[in-house]
Amino acid sequence: MMDFKKLQKDVYENKVNHGFNVTDINMEFCLAYGELGEAYMAWLQKKEDLGEELADVAIYLMGISEILEIDLGKEIEHKIEKNSKRVYKKVNGVLVKEEG
């Protein structure tokens, strides 16, 4: 199993070592958004590099998380657990989370 926390730190160290931004969070979110757009276009166009584009999105999220001192792996585990306990209902053909 991959050590997500180590990967997150490795992503940050790579940014520092290459002189990439590690202070402007607004810019990081914009760049991550751009990477998500590239992944979407790769999917639409059925490009072979879709996996690589998705990896770029994940790398940006890990970098932002490390800058903000958030353990993203832990947060993902928590969110998966939380989502597994939610109840959904269909409203006009769309699944909507029930409040309660």
Q: What's the number of domains the chain is made of?
A: 1
CB 65 within 8 A of CB 71: yes
Tell me: the pLDDT tens digits for 54-100?
A: 999 999 999 999 999 999 999 999 999 999 999 999 999 999 999 86
CATH code where residue 29 lies: 1.10.287.1080
Is 56 within 8 Å of 35 (Cβ atoms)?
A: yes
Task: Give pLDDT tens digits for 27-57.
Answer: 999 999 999 999 999 999 999 999 999 999 9
pTM of the predicted protein model? 0.89
